[in-house]
Amino acid sequence: MQPGHIRGAVCALLAMLLPIAASAQVPTSAPGGNGFKVGEGRVHPFLELETRLDTGVGYFPDTATADPNDVSDNLASELVLRVRPGAKLELPSSRMSVNATAFLEYVRYTGLLTAPSVNASHLEGAADLTATFNPDAPLQLVVSDRLLRTDQTRNVALGAGVLSLFNELRASVPIKPGGGAFEITPEAAWAVEFFSPVGESIPVGCEEDVCNPLEVDNFDNSTLHAGLDGRWRFLPKTAVVLDSDLDYRSYFRGNSPDALLLRVSAGLAGLVSPKISATAKLGWGYDFADSGGSTLIAQLDGTYMFSPTMTFKGGYFRTLSPVAAYGLYRNDRLFAEARTLFGGKLTLHGLVALDLLGFYDEADPRSDTLVSLDVGADYPFKPWLLGAVGYLLGSRSSSVDGTGLNYTRNEAYLRVSLVY
């Protein structure tokens, strides 16, 4: 792991937590709800304890051989303990409303299943801050910042065993003249992402940087974003929607091609019936940088409210996005999701998805297939005590050789949350 990245994550997370902690130094329990009263808002401290059996924590030396340099050709399995202390701030106001959440997470690899994994224990965490100026006015300003350190990287080109440190600063100006039937939202954002390896070993069969955790810092990047979204509700429950955005992706080191990607799509969104809502959009994406890649982009999804406590959602997306090493990638995604509530407390959820990824590389075209499954249940034993259990499946196969890009990852977790 790279110490500089860890120190940066810790300092930034503490910077987000300190204002919240300082506001609640002299708490007074407010009647009518949990949390500590802070002005017109509340601070809700929380603590999550999680045990997770993970079959894909990273690649480590093979203890079954005498050579300490031999690496197992499979992702290591481990029993992982996660501790997440944090706080949530809700501060409503007619002039400026603030919502913030921050937590630190210590990920402890126990070494019970893979002894060398203990040395890869690390800190993760997240901090989100959103401030909305004039939230009830026709002209608003929304400023937000999100910081995230996780072992679930958003960079689909990279293999397993990678830590990501991501931060995005975003500002948008929702404009709602004439009572809100017409809405236009210009926005701008700047994001940076840094990578570091979970372990210190190269997966078997890896001959490219994208599957080598030790080379992932070559893909550290910066993204400038500008967008303009519009919505016109020409019927009480149906609207014309327009989404347009321009992304400029550049890299701090390495040979990844930059991208200057424009995406524009338009369509309809609204209620088909009292129980069915749908969105249908069609558009085009084009890269003005060296790749010159372009493709049709689309969205067709719908939600069916079977009952007030049971909903189903499904659909298809086709997107074009910047990515490390190749410049661009296309994603065709099919998904189905269900959520239901039993007895006013027990919540069950399920999600299955298929992603077909195509990377823009004229010399050596690459395609990946991702299959994911997420099922689980949540139950509030008390207003301050929540329990959750679930299972995650992630299966990936790639036209590029190397175990780092071809694997199946199973995760089963049990989580207890204390919230005040």
Tens digit of each residue's pLDDT (9 = 90 or more) over 265-301: 999 999 999 999 999 999 999 999 987 889 999 999 9
19, part of any domain: no
233, part of any domain: yes
Domains identified in the chain, total number: 1
Q: What is the predicted pLDDT for the residue at 204? A: 62
125 pLDDT above the threshold of 80: yes
- What is the rounded distance in angstroms from the CA atom of residue 160 to the CA atom of residue 404? 5
Domain with 171, as residue range(s), is: 36-419
Q: What is the predicted pLDDT for the residue at 7? A: 41
CATH number of domain containing 92: 2.40.160
255, part of any domain: yes
26 pLDDT above the threshold of 50: no
For the chain, percent of residues with pLDDT exceeding 70: 87
pTM of the model: 0.83
For the chain, percent of residues with pLDDT exceeding 90: 63
Span of 33-47, 53-67, 320-334, 365-379 with lowest mean pLDDT: 53-67
Here the tokens at position 43 are 């601070």
- Is the CB of residue 171 less than 8 Å from the CB of residue 188? yes
Average pLDDT over residues 240-251: 96
Average pLDDT over residues 348-366: 90
What pLDDT, in 10s, does the model give residues 46-102? 999 999 999 988 777 776 665 555 666 677 899 999 999 999 999 998 899 999 999
173, part of any domain: yes
- What is the rounded distance in angstroms from the CA atom of residue 90 to the CA atom of residue 70? 51
Higher-pLDDT residue of 197, 52: 52
184, part of any domain: yes
21, part of any domain: no
Q: What is the predicted pLDDT for the residue at 70? A: 60
29, part of any domain: no
Q: What is the predicted pLDDT for the residue at 201? A: 63
State the average pLDDT for the chain.
86
- Is the CB of residue 229 less than 8 Å from the CB of residue 244? yes
What pLDDT, in 10s, does the model give residues 6-25? 343 334 333 333 333 333 33
1, part of any domain: no
